[in-house]
Structure 1
């Protein structure tokens, strides 16, 4: 069996005796362990200047090859082109794009540096799996250095429609770079279609049939591979954490009140402002919910060095304070807004305790919170998922209460529907969604992609 090489912008730090932090890291680690593997990328540290020789550490059968980023490249590659240009455009938010030429130059420079560091580590029959928007040029850079291995790419975020993409400087070059992979994986059929249309219109790629393309002399494939979760692991963890002191304190404090929970990174794509306003509308339009419903919103700090994110945090703090000031009573605060990060075990316990999971991004590639919430529920008394139609997960979790994340009144109505839903209907919806999650769990996602990459034209 060929060795698997995974490349991602950030590589998790292996620690003896500690599991990987998330389901995706676990799935990739399992694949690397089975095949023998190498995980390459940024170690999360900064250096005074460029470092070209990675540090390789072997842990539980996997070689972790990492290197730091120069402070300048962190600013211009990571905060700049990746997260101030690509991220907003791919999430259909052109107003948040902040393009500067030095950002694109740094994006190209870091991908070239990564290729210089990775190429000497490769063996002739390795299979390469590149992850996400930070590394879209990496296949071209490796090809330019003589690498002829099979190389696959998976995009974890949405792919925008062509009329949105064309507003981004350098989009044709990125499309040409993507055509240098052997297999491109997307979260949804809409994302794949958007890429194929963009590649056809912008750079003349020929689409023979859905999933089969040619650009210049190269044939390559595209596929749809919705990321899943470790269903049984989450279900077991959520059962165990219901007895932990933190979750017990929460339940004791709630009493008979209904808990609605949202868990997100602090990001403008997550629709948090609309979510807060929808909760305020719920309290206004359905006054019998006052005093009986609590929204707990956990918003993990993210990219605080970018002005958009700092401003969003201030607006959310203002909104939560306004709602609590307007509606709170002596023994009830309607919103608990927590701008901090919690351990995964605590989070899944909160999911299980919640009557409603609120996942309303304005745009999202998949959104694993939606799937984790469903997997964490008590099947005998499950909560209800209220889910944005514009999240990739909506294509699979059709038994959620689906809402337009821009429609404040529709979200409020969806919340009331979820709170009022009778137990038999909650059980039916949960059962059908769990069947979907088990059929398409994280292991199936990884296996399908690697099987298709092995069969892709090389």
Structure 2
């Protein structure tokens, strides 16, 4: 089966063969700016598709867009300054083309050349590459990046990068300007209950703030005051309220993740289980036009219409349809009018970002004097609103008065709808007041100001830091150091060593003496020899700190008589080979191991390559199933005097209080021994 380039992944995932149409449009020969293609002229004879064989229905075309074309370019050596082009056989893109086969698929490349081509030569080069190699080169102005970067002044400007589309942009900006004042926003739900966090990263403080975006209060209130909104509200009151009907409202995009069909099934369940609501409630489902096209969108549309038809035929009657589907585009003031009249808003998305529909509904229900008059309410009458929202949307944690549901649980959604309808007015008023107070005070202006204030606070000391860039590509990082930092040179170490009489030397094992990637974790004979050389000097007190078990490190360094060992992160300590092992805290009751070990052994058996190591204090267990193991251990050891924590490829179970006690144990013991010798 021939692989084909395709953009609709959901259609591919359905298991059905997608339809590919032959693209007969002309391919431009040159691109002058990224994303903007232009033709040199309009002569159809120069089109890639002008060849009858290439326009045959038997051929498919795949356009491969890459940073660089799989082409080698060099100047001729005869002094003519002409170009010589050839395929780069080592390029993955060229190998990909060979794998597809020229007989069935036409491959077009779009990208940059590895060499800079002068503006006067670009037309000729483009013609050669298109006709000979079917490559469309993109020529970017050489100063484009510099001109863009000149706009940013790292000393004064702040840069705010929005959403996942520019995920790697901060790395490139840091690479260009180490001290750039940079913040980024990701529009996704975050489960942490901590509103503001700071983590140390490469000497810099990276602040993480969890703050839902708000709505534009001014814009929404101005729409509420429009005459068109008032007219639409009058129309809806006549259509629903005057008929003694209660409106439930759903506003969603026509998308598979919005859960429209689940909402309709819940409505059907509600009418079936509670016949008293038949003829009294109406679900108005506003389905915004889909943002994309494809088989999945058509399936959602067909499924939605089928559900609406079935439910209306089953529970409807002359003059009453329990579901009103609006799948035509609506103006914003029309949606606001529906918000004003609806008694309850339903959001049943199975996966979503922030979703500000509930916020808009709450503000619209607060209304204004003119709308209150249309609804027959006094200005002093407390307003009310009800929300049934999915627990999977970003605004869910902010609306504590809403009824949260799992949209996949149809029975639970139906029960929530019934609960919202049956709720007493005073309770609805209290919930609405709570929501309105939060939404009105946490609008988009508050969100922006709060973000900027935190960004400014985080970057306040940037000018005092000394920054260095390390790494390449996406692994590039900026390391920030204190102004008083001094590089530890070999000369400085030797000088300090020679002028001192008593020295305490602490050596780390994993990752320092022994590389993390090394398969054989035992020390080399060269390392043993160096350590013994240091230990022979009686003025040196040498300690080696390791996360390994005391049995393992004692075996590895048995040749080092005067070497002090700190095993299992310092929990066990031995001053020299013939000394007894000491502990930083009294040996704790370890009967809990009888509970933990069977659980760990179970996960070890189901995870290839994992092991369980009994260290008496810090069991070290790396596993791709560490998260599930962590949850399991926390559950079974809930009543035991131990702590369970995870790290990079490690899950630890240890007695409570060990971390604080062992943190400085090795250093204090070294100082104590040094003072006794003096």
SS of the residue aligned with 2:268? Answer: helix
SS of the residue aligned with 1:273? Answer: helix
Aligned match of 1:227: 213
CA gap of 1:267–1:75, structure 2 versus 1, over 3 A, is: farther
User: Alignment partner for residue 424 of structure 2, among 422, 425, 435?
Assistant: 422
CA gap of 1:321–1:118, structure 2 versus 1, over 3 A, is: farther
SS of the residue aligned with 1:268? Answer: coil
In terms of Rg, which structure is larger?
Answer: 2
Aligned match of 2:234: 248
Aligned match of 1:96: none
Does the 8 Å CA contact 2:281/2:322 hold for their aligned counterparts?
A: yes
Aligned match of 1:98: none
1:170-185 aligned within 5 A: none
Q: Tell me the distance in 1 between the aligned counterparts of 2:169 and 2:163.
A: 11
SS of the residue aligned with 1:295? Answer: strand
Does the 8 Å CA contact 2:198/2:205 hold for their aligned counterparts?
A: no
Q: Tell me the distance in 1 between the aligned counterparts of 2:300 and 2:251.
A: 16
Cα deviation digits, residues 3-29 of structure 1 (max 9, x gap): xxxxxxxxxxxxxxxxxxxxxxxxxxx
Q: Tell me the distance in 1 between the aligned counterparts of 2:203 and 2:220.
A: 45
CA gap of 1:69–1:240, structure 2 versus 1, over 3 A, is: farther
1:336-355 aligned within 5 A: 336-355=324-343
Does the 8 Å CA contact 1:356/1:384 hold for their aligned counterparts?
A: yes
Q: Tell me the distance in 1 between the aligned counterparts of 2:65 and 2:287.
A: 25
SS of the residue aligned with 1:427? Answer: helix
User: Alignment partner for residue 447 of structure 1, among 446, 449, 455?
Assistant: 449
Aligned match of 1:301: 289
Cα offset, 1:226, TM superposition:
1.0
CA gap of 1:231–1:303, structure 2 versus 1, over 3 A, is: closer
Q: Tell me the distance in 1 between the aligned counterparts of 2:389 and 2:37.
A: 37
| Structure 2 residue 33 is matched with structure 1 residue 52 | yes
Q: Tell me the distance in 1 between the aligned counterparts of 2:293 and 2:353.
A: 23
CA gap of 1:455–1:292, structure 2 versus 1, over 3 A, is: same
For structure 2, the residue ranges without an aligned partner over 5 or more in a row are: 1-26, 39-60, 67-107, 112-137, 367-380, 463-678
Does the 8 Å CA contact 1:115/1:142 hold for their aligned counterparts?
A: no
Aligned match of 1:122: 152
Q: Tell me the distance in 1 between the aligned counterparts of 2:165 and 2:147.
A: 16
Aligned match of 1:63: none
Does the 8 Å CA contact 1:262/1:359 hold for their aligned counterparts?
A: yes
Q: Tell me the distance in 1 between the aligned counterparts of 2:234 and 2:396.
A: 31
Does the 8 Å CA contact 2:383/2:432 hold for their aligned counterparts?
A: no
Cα deviation digits, residues 190-214 of structure 1 (max 9, x gap): 3999xxxxxxxxxxxxxxx943141
Q: Tell me the distance in 1 between the aligned counterparts of 2:410 and 2:248.
A: 16
Aligned match of 1:282: 270
Q: Tell me the distance in 1 between the aligned counterparts of 2:355 and 2:449.
A: 20
1:35-434 aligned within 5 A: 52=33, 118-124=148-154, 125-146=156-177, 148-158=179-189, 188-190=190-192, 210-214=197-201, 219-231=205-217, 233-235=219-221, 237-238=223-224, 240=226, 244-254=230-240, 255-378=243-366, 380-434=382-436
Q: Tell me the distance in 2 between the aligned counterparts of 1:239 and 1:427.
A: 23
Cα deviation digits, residues 148-175 of structure 1 (max 9, x gap): 42121111133xxxxxxxxxxxxxxxxx
CA gap of 1:326–1:147, structure 2 versus 1, over 3 A, is: farther
Which shifted more, 310-319 or 349-358? 310-319
CA gap of 1:242–1:358, structure 2 versus 1, over 3 A, is: farther
Which shifted more, 413-422 or 303-312? 303-312
Cα offset, 1:324, TM superposition:
1.6
SS of the residue aligned with 1:385? Answer: strand
Cα offset, 1:431, TM superposition:
0.7
For structure 1, the residue ranges without an aligned partner over 5 or more in a row are: 1-46, 54-66, 78-101, 159-187, 194-208
Cα deviation digits, residues 91-147 of structure 1 (max 9, x gap): xxxxxxxxxxx9xx9xxxx9x999788435434432111111211111123334447
CA gap of 1:213–1:275, structure 2 versus 1, over 3 A, is: farther
Cα offset, 1:436, TM superposition:
1.5
Does the 8 Å CA contact 2:285/2:323 hold for their aligned counterparts?
A: yes
CA gap of 1:286–1:310, structure 2 versus 1, over 3 A, is: same
Does the 8 Å CA contact 1:241/1:247 hold for their aligned counterparts?
A: no
Q: Which has the higher contact order (CA 8 A, sep 6+)?
A: 1
Between structures 1 and 2, the one with greater helix share: 1
Cα deviation digits, residues 21-49 of structure 1 (max 9, x gap): xxxxxxxxxxxxxxxxxxxxxxxxxx978
CA gap of 1:142–1:394, structure 2 versus 1, over 3 A, is: same
Q: Tell me the distance in 2 between the aligned counterparts of 1:391 and 1:306.
A: 24
Cα offset, 1:51, TM superposition:
6.2
CA gap of 1:241–1:414, structure 2 versus 1, over 3 A, is: farther
Q: What is the aligned residue count? A: 322
Cα offset, 1:352, TM superposition:
1.0
Q: Tell me the distance in 1 between the aligned counterparts of 2:426 and 2:193.
A: 35
SS of the residue aligned with 2:290? Answer: coil
Cα offset, 1:365, TM superposition:
2.9
CA gap of 1:116–1:362, structure 2 versus 1, over 3 A, is: farther
